[in-house]
Structure 1
Amino acid sequence: MSFISVMTEIADISDSSAKAQFVLYWGDMGSQWGVNRSVAQIHALLYLSIKPVNAEEISDQLGIARSNVSNSLKELVGWKLIRRVPIQGDRREHFVAEVDVWEMAMRIAQGRKEREIDPAMSAIDSCVQQANKEPDLHPVVLERMHEMQDFLATADRWSTQMLNVPKSKLNTLMKMGDKVFSLLKLTGKKSE
């Protein structure tokens, strides 16, 4: 899809506005990360919105079909990236996004772990259990399965630890960047 055709997806946001560009680019990035473009654009719109927005307004502003908006909102609520908020005197559902970027990142990481890493670990564990019972299986195949199982277990422990680090400490750790690698070199650890 060309940039021009993507630009037409936003109906009420000026094509040249920074807000329109943000929504479009967020939608494009989302599709590159395996997230439906509409879901990502709606998330971006709500993230930038100063007040709660209802589904009809989202549909009008982004030029997305109302049914697509409804399904996308359900997905975003499921990820806990947005929530419903009541507006007095209005029976329609209104939505706001989580605006703390660290909290958003943590929720996305937790959701991806639950949807991707946990099932992969379960599948690999099942394969390893079956492989351990197959006497004709080549030892190299079994060794590689065990290596993948160990890798996923290590990645799972690390992600669980990172999800439990307070946001302020995680921010500090990330800002340290190369200093962390320098520290590892000073303590005698070799990079691989």
Structure 2
Amino acid sequence: MTEITEHDATLPPAVRAFVLHWGDMGSQWGVNRSVAQIHALLYLSERPLNADEIGEKLGIARSNISNSLKELVGWRLVRRVPVMGDRRDHFEAEVDLWQMLTRIAEGRKQREIDPAVAALELCRAEAQGDPRIGKVARGRIEAMYDFVKTMEKWHDEMIQVSPSRLLMLIKMGRKVLALIPGGKTKD
């Protein structure tokens, strides 16, 4: 057995459903299903768990658990914690949703956006000096570069906003558009 199944009776139904759903969402986002399921289990756990307990609850192979925990620790979504009287490593998840979101955003930016910016900068420089590149292609490379740089700047600005202020901004939703000239929407 490599992952939790619908019929696994070791977890309460709501926890099992959450873990399964988080695993499915993770795989849709490009995260290994086992990594996402372990994260979900630790997120819901009331106490730190060791690898054996994780394996028992999820039916995941020990080697898979070890690799998954390394990945989660690398993302700073899970941390090792000492447990009195037990020499084994125990793990707990970050439970602050804003911290979790921030760490995921920072990690994805480093792994996905930063390399894209570097590649676009190279393409842009090469296109500017190559007479074989047409005006349309050069313009589209420039537009893509400008867009990605704008999104990168927005990310860097938003990551600095306090969670309470960011939540206020999010809750305002499209009402923010009324503050921008020409920003009214159709209702």
TM-score (norm. length: structure 2): 0.92
2:45 to 24, 31, 49: 49
2:21 to 22, 25, 38: 25
Offset of 1:11 from its aligned partner?
5.9
Partner of 1:7: 6
**How far apart, CA to CA, are the structure 2 residues paired with 1:122 and 1:151?**
14
Aligned counterparts, 1:133-144, within 5 A = 133-144=129-140
1:80 to 59, 76, 79: 76
Q: Percent identity?
A: 57
Offset of 1:188 from its aligned partner?
3.0
Partner of 2:182: 188
Higher mean C-alpha deviation, range 57-66 or range 86-95: 86-95
Q: SS state of the match for residue 177, structure 1?
A: helix
Offset of 1:183 from its aligned partner?
3.0
Partner of 1:91: 87
Instruction: Name stretches of at least 5 consecutive residues in structure 1 with no aligned partner.
Output: none
Which amino acid letter does the alignment assign opposite residue 18 of structure 2?
F
**How far apart, CA to CA, are the structure 1 residues paired with 2:75 and 2:160?**
18
Aligned length in residues: 182
Offset of 1:6 from its aligned partner?
4.0
Distance 1:11 1:117, change over 3 A: farther
Distance 1:62 1:11, change over 3 A: farther
Cα contact 1:11–1:61 (8 A) shared by 2: no
**How far apart, CA to CA, are the structure 2 residues paired with 1:178 and 1:189?**
9
Which string of whole-angstrom CA distances, capped at 9 and with x for unpartnered residues, describes residues 34-84 of structure 1?
111100000000000111100110011000001000000000001000100
Which amino acid letter does the alignment assign opposite residue 86 of structure 2?
D
Which amino acid letter does the alignment assign opposite residue 182 of structure 2?
G
Offset of 1:130 from its aligned partner?
1.2
**How far apart, CA to CA, are the structure 1 residues paired with 2:184 and 2:117?**
28
Instruction: Name stretches of at least 5 consecutive residues in structure 2 with no aligned partner.
Output: none
Cα contact 1:11–1:62 (8 A) shared by 2: no
CA RMSD of aligned residues (A): 1.6
Deviant stretches of 4+, over 6 Å: none
Offset of 1:12 from its aligned partner?
1.9
Q: Does residue 167 of structure 1 match 2:166?
A: no
Which string of whole-angstrom CA distances, capped at 9 and with x for unpartnered residues, describes residues 128-177 of structure 1?
11111212211111111111111111000000001110011011111111
Distance 1:32 1:80, change over 3 A: same
2:119 to 123, 136, 140: 123
**How far apart, CA to CA, are the structure 2 residues paired with 1:178 and 1:128?**
34
